[in-house]
Structure 1
Amino acid sequence: MSSVYNKSQGSKSLFTTQNIILASIGWGVLALLYFLLFSAKVPVGADCVAKLSAKAQEATTCLRRADWYVFGTNVFEAMAYLSASILCLRNWRSQQIVSDRNVWLAIGIGMLSYFLGGIFFGYTEIVLKEEPFPSLGDVFFVITYLLLGVGMVLAVASRRLNLETSQWIIVLAIGAFGSALAWLISNQPQTAAVQAQYSPGLEIVASALNWFYVISDVLLLIIATTLLLAFWGGRVSLSWRMIAAAAFSLYIADMWYKYATNSIPNYQSGEILEVFWVWSGVLFGMGAVLEHDASLSRSRRERVRKRS
């Protein structure tokens, strides 16, 4: 019996807050190194090699990243969001959590939806060799943005906002900058090759999704900034700093992808800035585990206070 107890205690100790945080940071660093070391494009096929030797301008169109590399980026991203989903849903199930449990339910299901969307996105691009945007994965991405918005709005609503004038100016400035950048990227002229990728019907869907993502990114950016300032200095401030940083990372990666798909014909995933998608999932997970730890610490303090 004692050996069974010791084993169970040892298995539980693996999932301490410190270990989860260290594993999350390690995953983010490994993802960055993977993107940096293996993202170079290589010539595909004998024709491409001939073009490169002839120094033809169109040679760059046949340069592609290896499928194993793109698959690896999908693995890094998928594991980050799946882990974040599990950690957020753990907060939802906890009776001791400080924040509204519905906040973590919405964010947790949103992370799970993003995980599923990434699976369909990667399958379309790597296995089917088709344009992954728009695809079935966008259904799950749309659900993610809606649920993230609900969760973060609930978090703001649960906190009595008492921001100073300077803080409201910061929120407005970041919102204005984010909106202007998103508008410029979304309205950049598309090349003829990019326009030719979509049929008329598919082009309408792609345009609608683009604007939905742009508006969602900007709103999440504003809400994240508000959360960051509202929770600043509180007992659970560190966890919500992570959530705000996750929203900023999501915005950066999305803006890059919008720029790339509008200006680069047959854009292939795997550019370095897409590592911010991985970091976004990692940061959401870190925010959840820090909130869980702060809630348990608060519960222990309250029990000690009652005993005394």
Structure 2
Amino acid sequence: MSKSYDDSYKPKTIFTTQKIILISLGWALLALLYFLLFSAKIPGPNGQEIREAWYLLGTNIFEASAYLGASVLCWRNWQSTQIISSRKVWLFIGLGMLAYFIGGIIFGYIEIGLGQEPDVSIADVFFVMTYLFLGTGMALALFSRRINLEKWQWLIVFAIGALGSFVAWFISQQNQGPSAELAPLWQQIKMVLDWFYVVSDVLLLIIATIMLLAFWGGKVSLSWRMIAAAAFSLYIADMWFKYATNYLLDYQSGDILEVFWVFSGVLFGMGAALEYEASLSLKRRTSGRKRT
């Protein structure tokens, strides 16, 4: 096999997989430092401790950039004819990342720009779409391969699913009811949304656990370990936010554990980039064997 033939499969772009991974890790590290250094509250006008608006804006920028980047990388996989896994998987995951990006932008504008904390907003439409698209994409990734777990592995899935369900149930027991100012219809919508998010988080946690165990081992599976880790990070951030809003008095966004939302977006993007690189490498090896 000639070197020129092998080079023809290399992507003609300055953003190689190695650079994407380094940028992603750097972005996650910067986000962690940002949360650690600037998340402290300061005295507000009424004696109540608050976080600066510029800090909250920064957290939204870190989060939005991570999910927007992940959606672009997922769509690159969807458009590639050489991708190993089903292209529909990356289409749905990419749509989920975009929906979360849009929802986060809207939520940030309402919270920071308008200074409001509504029980239900247009951002919830996009967050619901996120779970639907993301759950569909991850489920398709599992169904596209034959799952053959050992009994002890299914016990791990059951244990993590049970633990995740218990944590979600325990946190939801102190679920704050919708504001009395809301119309009865919106109060019902608020209750449905609360349980939808909780159930969706648990289902994604279970899917991620199965994915982590089923795809363990081998270079190609590394991308799916990143996707599973991204789902775990999303669960941690969501559960913390729900716990904080239910149990902590006058909770304000921007606490340190919310950095896991940034980690989740970064890991989804890294998973997509690693899958793209693995697909190109497999294509080059396969073509090389045909030429010899």
Q: TM-score, normalised by structure 1?
A: 0.88
The amino acid across from 1:180 in the alignment is F
Q: Is the 8 A contact 1:121 1:132 kept in 2?
A: no
Aligned to 1:108: 94
The equivalent position to 1:207 in structure 2, one of 183, 191, 195, is 191
**Greater helix proportion:** 1
Aligned to 1:57: none
Unaligned runs of 5+ in 1: 1-10, 49-61
Return the offset for 1:122: 0.1
Q: Is the 8 A contact 1:246 1:279 kept in 2?
A: yes
SS at match of 1:206: helix
Aligned residues: 281
Aligned to 1:242: 226
Q: Is the 8 A contact 1:210 1:258 kept in 2?
A: no
The amino acid across from 1:119 in the alignment is I
Is the counterpart of residue 187 in structure 1 residue 170 in structure 2? no
Return the offset for 1:270: 0.2
Q: Which moved more, 1:120-129 or 1:261-270?
A: 261-270
The amino acid across from 1:129 in the alignment is G
Query: Take 2:58 and 2:12, find their aligned partners in 1: how far apart are those partners?
Result: 29
Return the offset for 1:218: 0.4
Cα deviation, 1:134-184, whole Å, max 9, x if unaligned, reads 211110000000011100110000110111001111111100000000000
Return the offset for 1:30: 0.3
Bigger RCO (CA 8 Å, 6+ sep): 2
Return the offset for 1:266: 4.0
SS at match of 2:238: helix
Query: Take 1:129 and 1:204, find their aligned partners in 2: how far apart are those partners?
Result: 24
SS at match of 2:252: coil
Instruction: State the Cα RMSD in Å.
Output: 1.6
Return the offset for 1:133: 4.0
Query: Take 2:118 and 2:77, find their aligned partners in 1: how far apart are those partners?
Result: 33
The amino acid across from 1:136 in the alignment is I
The amino acid across from 2:134 in the alignment is L
Aligned to 1:32: 32
Return the offset for 1:234: 3.7
The amino acid across from 1:215 in the alignment is V
Q: Is the 8 A contact 1:96 1:296 kept in 2?
A: yes
Q: Which moved more, 1:113-122 or 1:129-138?
A: 129-138
Cα deviation, 1:109-135, whole Å, max 9, x if unaligned, reads 110000000001000100111115421
Query: Take 1:258 and 1:265, find their aligned partners in 2: how far apart are those partners?
Result: 12
Distance change (3 Å), C-alpha of 1:281 and 1:133: farther
Query: Take 2:255 and 2:289, find their aligned partners in 1: how far apart are those partners?
Result: 53
TM superposition outliers: structure 1 runs of 4+ over 6 Å? none
SS at match of 1:15: coil
Return the offset for 1:265: 4.2
Is the counterpart of residue 163 in structure 1 residue 149 in structure 2? yes
The amino acid across from 2:237 in the alignment is A
The equivalent position to 1:130 in structure 2, one of 116, 121, 144, is 116
Paired residues for 1:29-68 under 5 Å: 29-45=29-45, 47-48=46-47, 62-68=48-54
Query: Take 2:32 and 2:158, find their aligned partners in 1: how far apart are those partners?
Result: 31
